[in-house]
Structure 1
């Protein structure tokens, strides 16, 4: 067996490594900060013992390769490399925690953890067991190419998810709209897909590769206030300024819209039959669009009746022709055609 100068430090490293694993597991997942502190303290102590004993973690001395001492030497170095991986991952957790975005950086965190474990595994194989790493890396590269060809769609989702995470086009909790009309609040992002919680309380699973190819509108930035505009046609029996005043008063009395920015009325067009006005207002969030618009429509109906305004008939419901007496044309109302749209009343 090797001499006392290496025996005691290596035994101490084994004890520290096993103790660190036990303490780490005893603390449990409910104390992540304590786990990180344990990882860092035990690794620092093990590194200090290595340094004081002048023991290299990269190679075994000839004296250590004799008898049962080889087991102690190899296990000590394996534990040191394992704690090194946990310490690096611990610092990654600390960095993400300080940025206060642990959920948004989930994909990037998993990628870093995978790279750390792969690097440590190769280091143990090469430095501790003395196996040639180059043939192993070459073989794993060929296998990776074969797997990549077989999992093209999955890898496309994987790298698209990483790109979306790094680009920060959206984060957990944002309300987004895709170019195909799909919209909802981002509930979860993972390696393969992004889950959207829609206003109908359904979960839409969108593959990351599909999401990366589409245009994404983030309705939660810079804040969640959302602008709405819809048109109303009022019969041209009152002055446009009167119509504007009535419509603005209606919006100001609405409880489900925000008062700043203030609502506005735009006079869009006028003809012999109708004045087209556009009601413009803001709501607190995309999810409150429907109840706010319903309230505004109800108040428009009540306000028109109270102020003597009439909603204009849609153009499809009016037939122009010669008057019965005289040569001047007159408007003769006829029943609304089956193709008339409900939106024409707005």
Structure 2
């Protein structure tokens, strides 16, 4: 009678679990726990061990009931463990990490339960099977070395939460773009040129990555401007007015105008401002350059020659007099 009851509970649990639907994971988990608890209670009250059934007195249909009861119990055990892990992952991890860890859990639980059924229920030796499987695994591991390297690198990147879907990342010796898709083997990056670059996970794991979306999506840009010598406070005011007129840069926090150096030829200014997204850097930089040029013309501020230019001067009684400039990049003589 306990064996019949376990079979009834196991089959009923499968039917009810199926009618719950995949869109109700909590309901499915409750069904799994209830039916598994009922089957375990019947085993305990009937004095039946899930590791071994004394079938010396069981013949024919009774022996079949015993084996099917234990197979159903081990199957429900696997489903219950996977359901608990799935709910825990949904509550404690992001979708990407949860999906990866869930697949890993399924990959461990099902083979373990299958070996338990073979060894405990049917009494077959599993040591030889495990040894044979190990040899086969070594052969496949050597043949799929690069692919497995990508897989394990993907696991490390996912568990380490280096990046997520939608993050903009920059590689040390590789492309820069937004992560639009990840899988077991690679990550797909959407670059600023709207091209999809497929980067293997092993390459991502070996290189230094800069996540431009952490802690937020804003990105700082530094633009250096050289202007003719004049009152430094006036230069700062002109640059700040130009930055305040931009609609493509972030105004909170406020852009920074840093007077870098000053000499007889120019005042060098660093403009530090942030943009809302790394994809907007070109448009924002173009707008700022246009505003700086217009603001300098409006306020009578002249742009200075580049620092690479060489200046020739003739000494006189009244001081140095500038007579010309030659670009050092286009001339081989000084």
User: Which TM-score applies when normalising by structure 2?
Assistant: 0.89
Pick the aligned partner of 2:10 from 17, 31, 35: 17
| RMSD over aligned Cα atoms | 2.6
CA-CA distance at 1:163 after TM superposition: 1.6
Pick the aligned partner of 2:83 from 73, 80, 90: 90
Q: Which moved more, 1:263-272 or 1:141-150?
A: 263-272
Aligned to 2:323, what secondary structure does the other structure show? strand
User: Would the alpha carbon gap of residues 64 and 190 (structure 1) be closer, same or farther in structure 2, given more than 3 Å must change?
Assistant: farther
User: Would the alpha carbon gap of residues 239 and 297 (structure 1) be closer, same or farther in structure 2, given more than 3 Å must change?
Assistant: same
**How big is each residue's C-alpha offset from its partner over 1:142-177, in whole Å with a ceiling of 9 and x where there is no partner?**
111111111110111111112222222223332221
Aligned to 1:172, what secondary structure does the other structure show? coil
Q: Which moved more, 1:117-126 or 1:23-32?
A: 23-32
CA distance in 2, matches of 1:118, 1:34: 25
Pick the aligned partner of 1:167 from 129, 151, 160: 160
CA-CA distance at 1:79 after TM superposition: 1.3
Pick the aligned partner of 2:257 from 262, 265, 270: 265
User: Would the alpha carbon gap of residues 201 and 49 (structure 1) be closer, same or farther in structure 2, given more than 3 Å must change?
Assistant: farther
CA distance in 1, matches of 2:165, 2:57: 53
CA distance in 1, matches of 2:57, 2:176: 64
Aligned to 1:184, what secondary structure does the other structure show? strand
Count the aligned residue pairs. 329
**How big is each residue's C-alpha offset from its partner over 1:88-121, in whole Å with a ceiling of 9 and x where there is no partner?**
1111111111114122332222112111111101
CA-CA distance at 1:313 after TM superposition: 3.4
Which residue number corresponds to residue 301 of structure 1?
293
Which residue number corresponds to residue 290 of structure 1?
282
**How big is each residue's C-alpha offset from its partner over 1:306-328, in whole Å with a ceiling of 9 and x where there is no partner?**
111222234667774769xx996
User: Would the alpha carbon gap of residues 262 and 125 (structure 1) be closer, same or farther in structure 2, given more than 3 Å must change?
Assistant: same
Aligned to 2:96, what secondary structure does the other structure show? coil
CA distance in 2, matches of 1:197, 1:9: 60
CA-CA distance at 1:279 after TM superposition: 0.5
User: Would the alpha carbon gap of residues 269 and 262 (structure 1) be closer, same or farther in structure 2, given more than 3 Å must change?
Assistant: same
Which residue number corresponds to residue 201 of structure 1?
194
Q: Note the residue ranges of structure 2 that are not aligned, 5 or more in a row.
A: none
Maintained 8 Å contact 1:186/1:196: yes
Q: Note the residue ranges of structure 1 that are not aligned, 5 or more in a row.
A: 1-7, 341-346
